Structure 1
Amino acid sequence: MALPTRENSNVSLSDSNYGPIPGESRAYVDYNKTAASFPGNITGATMPTEAEPPGPDDLLFQNLISAEWAIFDFYQQGVEAFNQSSFTDLGLPNTTYDRVINIRDNEAGHLRIFQDSISATSVKPGPCTYDYGLNNASTWLALQVVLELSSMAFLTGLVREAELKDTMSALVAIAEVESRHNTWALIHTFNTNPFSGPADTVFPYANEILDLTNRYIVPGSCPSANPVYPSPRQKLPATTAVVEKAKGIVEFEFTDAGNQPDWHWQQKDRQYYAVYFHGVQNITMPFDIKTNQSDYPIMFDAEQGMIVAVIANKVGAPSLDSVVAGPALIIEQPSFS
């Protein structure tokens, strides 16, 4: 089958039988070409073709495909920028570049699944332009494992938002594939034990993690018809977590000079907390607003998986509006220290 090209009308994307069908076509398994694979080779948003109310999970899939465009483009940039020797020069097996292409093809399949999951009454968001600030294969591989870990964390949260059982099942199926991608990276690239303990991290507020991908979007580059991403968007102060395990502390750095926390806007002496999510549990530590530090949660199984940390005004961050900054991703496995 010839793949549709950029010249095709986006209206055709409303037809689930248009182009290769996920689960039936090898295009999402081993397309194996440098050029972007369908539907990643079609730009622009797809407008609604019916004037009816949105489907029950349209907003969820609009958020998800907007994130998936960023992930697909990350792999596409890797396929275009590198070749087999880019990775063998790092001492990696000569199959590494082929696997990167395979994952790119899988991600293209995710795009099509998510497009098909948005009803004909809602916009299907198109890709923006993305800048990952990468200049070599080594830094690309480091970000790759962060993106895959993040994908699993936000998918566990999105499941909680789904209205339809078919959506819940689809999200679990996609998460399983992302887990395979990450397992490959941990074994193949980092020579690390891939097992992260009995459960990957559950983070209940998926849009907060999705919002992290906005840092890679070139301002003004998204199709004008795209909805706000993610929706709803809290625009929380961005933070990174610097872990000093020898001292038993975590220091939070608020990285956006134009969006800093205001610790006193609700009340002067309010207590804030660093809430750490790992596995299916969370642990709360007092947060010092003078030093921007908290104790490190030593109760968690060390060097396993990922910890998602937020700053909250209530123990356990029990609701979306209790989170006032973050999230910060603390990658325990592999260790980048």
Structure 2
Amino acid sequence: MAIRSLFQASLLAPLVSIASAKPIFTGSNGSFAETQKLADPKYGPTPGEDPIFSTYYGVEAPFPGYLRDAVLPTKTGPPGEDDQVWQNLLSAEWIIFDFYQQAVEAFNASAFVKAGYPNTTYQRIQEIRNNEAGHLRIFQNQISPTSVKPGACQHQYPFDDPISFLALVTVLEISSMTFLTGLVESAKLESSHGAMIAIAETEARHEAWSLLEIWKTNPFGGPSDTVFPYPNQILDTTNAYIVPGSCPAQNPEYPSPRQGLPALSAAKNTTSLLPGSNIGLSFVDPTNQPTFDANTQYYAVFFHGTNNISVPINTSCYPAQEIRVTIPAQFETKGVIVAVVADTPGAPTKESVVAGPGIILEQPAALATKLL
């Protein structure tokens, strides 16, 4: 599968479907009753204490990944101050956990060796899968007992071989750093800030492994990862991996609040997404297109590092003609660029964003051809 098509694969033709996960903890069958025991933070292995979250090398889903129902509130009262942020993050973590779990089930060590990757690749994927299982438990425990802990939906992903899977690993791991910075800004409690930073540091190690071992490229992304202030907009793009209608009925909206903005991509004839490249913008979902006011000036806003640059765009001929814009040449070819279309320079509020976001990878060069 071509790299450029990774995020355009149709949900109508799943390439990898979720297998029935068998429990490896306490011999349970993963029933609804056992899932509700997750309301007790002391139930089951503890992340940071049990090696299941680091060095388990089985195929079956580790705890709590096979307990997939929503965990219902055990107390009445107002939600915790950061419950909504943690609910969003837990729902997103189910998407990431299933991504790695499905790969563990679909492939084996020899599949990656035959594809030309190091003989430790499958083991590292299992270890990342284990880390993500630990994140599930950490996030569940951060949500107060007065709020639902979201369960797992069914997920499908556009990979069908080790190469397309590892390409998507890199896209997701690098992109995760962008929304995690915004989530930290969204949280109110100091304890939440610390926990999110700790998770981000682990994700950074996953990203560095991918760049170093898989792509044999420099893992340094410049002096700062990209800060994008509207994490729910990035999380919303991951709804593409959720099978419609498959989520537990008790789950809150994901993400909440959800803007449902038109998806932003590069035009199909794009050959370069390097700084200084002139590209066409495409809004890929025909059922969700932006509406432009003839009396409003719109901008393509590019976030990179801790800064952003706004470029005026001409929307008067859309949709008869594509909208074109030049990626700011000032940006170095490091890390990731996040692009949105906004009605105000700098996109100072989430309401000013009318389409996007799109993710432009600058590293590795083999993947730097895709605007999500």
Q: TM-score, normalised by structure 1?
A: 0.96
Q: In 1, Cα distance between the equivalents of 2:217 and 2:286?
A: 36
Partner amino acid, structure 1, of 2:234: I
Q: Does 1:55 align with 2:86?
A: no
CA distance in 2, matches of 1:127, 1:246: 38
Q: Are positions 1:284 and 2:284 aligned together?
A: no
For 1:152-204, what per-residue CA distance to the aligned partner results, in whole angstroms no more than 9, with x for missing partners? 11110011111110100011010010000000000000011000000111100
Q: CA deviation at 1:288?
A: 2.4
1:194-239 Cα shifts (integer Å, max 9, x gaps)? 0000011110000000001100100000000000000000000011
Aligned partner of 1:30 in structure 2 is 55
Paired position in structure 2 for 1:79 = 104
Asked whether the equivalents of residues 261 and 354 of structure 2 are also in contact (C-alpha less than 8 Å), the reply is yes
My pick for the range that moved more, 17-26 or 285-294, is 285-294
Counting only pairs closer than 5 Å after superposition, residues 1-337 of structure 1 correspond to structure 2 as 3-4=25-26, 5=28, 6-7=30-31, 9-241=34-266, 242=270, 243-245=272-274, 248-264=277-293, 268-289=294-315, 290=317, 291-302=322-333, 304-335=334-365, 336=367, 337=369
2:17 aligned residue: none
Q: Determine if contact 2:155/2:241 at 8 Å carries over to the other structure.
A: yes
Q: Identity of aligned pairs, percent?
A: 52
Give the aligned residue type for 2:330: M
CA contact (8 A) 2:275 2:332 kept: no
Per-residue CA shift, 1:305-328, capped at 9, x if unaligned? 111100000000001100000000
Partner of 1:30: helix, strand, or coil? coil
Deviations 1:31-76 (A, max 9, x none): 1110001110111100000011100000000000000000000000
Between Structure 1 and Structure 2, how many residues are aligned? Answer: 332
The one-letter amino acid paired with 1:47 is L
Q: Which runs of 5+ in 1 are unaligned?
A: none
CA distance in 1, matches of 2:41, 2:67: 15
Cα deviation for residue 251 of structure 1 reads 1.8
Report Cα offsets for 1:253-287 as digits up to 9, x if no partner. Answer: 101100001112xxx23110000111111111112
Using structure 2 for the length normalisation, give the TM-score. Answer: 0.87
Aligned to 2:281, the other structure's residue is in SS state: strand
Contact 2:211 2:219 in 1 (8 A): yes
State how far apart, in whole Å, the 2-side matches of 1:247 and 1:233 are. 32
Judged with a 3 Å threshold, the aligned counterparts in structure 2 of structure 1 residues 244 and 31 are, in CA distance, closer, same or farther, namely closer
Shift of 1:240: 1.2
Judged with a 3 Å threshold, the aligned counterparts in structure 2 of structure 1 residues 45 and 83 are, in CA distance, closer, same or farther, namely same
1:279–1:33 distance in 2 versus 1, CA, 3 Å: same
Cα distance in 1 between the residues matched to 2:263 and 2:286: 10
Distance 1:225 1:28 in 2: 27
Query: Matched residues in 1 for 2:332 and 2:172: separation?
Result: 22
Q: How far apart, CA to CA, are the structure 1 residues paired with 2:276 and 2:182?
A: 32
The alignment partner of 2:54 has SS state of helix
Deviations 1:285-306 (A, max 9, x none): 112223311111110112x111
What is the CA-CA distance between 1:247 and the residue it aligns to?
A: 7.2
Structure 1 residues 246 and 308: alpha-carbon distance in aligned structure 2, compared to 1, 3 A threshold? closer
Aligned to 1:87, the other structure's residue is in SS state helix
